[in-house]
Amino acid sequence: MNAATRKITMGIGCGAWRAFSFILYVLLIVLGRVLHPIANLAIFVGTVIFLFCLVFRPDLALPMWAGAGLTVGATTVSVLYEVALRAAAPANTVVVSDV
């Protein structure tokens, strides 16, 4: 493969990767509008279940740990979403989360 062919191939490959990355970024932004409220609700419900069972019904160990697992799992999904969004963002893009 000569230098010109390699340069054209690298240009096409980089352009395809940037296009794929931008499409993934847009899809992640749209997904975030649905994912964040669901994850926040799951975090709230899991925390309430865990604290209720911890304070008032310590004999219910399975629901208590299920609530804790729900909270940890939803938090993990939320954090991994943010990591994926920042990784797929175009260069010099500042990702600001809604408050």
pTM of the predicted structure, to 2 decimals: 0.78
Q: Which is more confidently placed, 8 or 27?
A: 27
The Cα 31–Cα 3 span in angstroms is 41
DSSP assignment string, 5-20 = HHHHHHHHHHHHHHHH
Region 9-29 average pLDDT: 89
pLDDT tens digits, one per residue of 37-88: 999 999 999 999 999 999 999 899 899 999 999 999 999 999 999 999 988 8
| Residue ranges of domains in the chain | 3-88
What pLDDT, on a 0 to 100 scale, did the predictor assign at position 98?
60
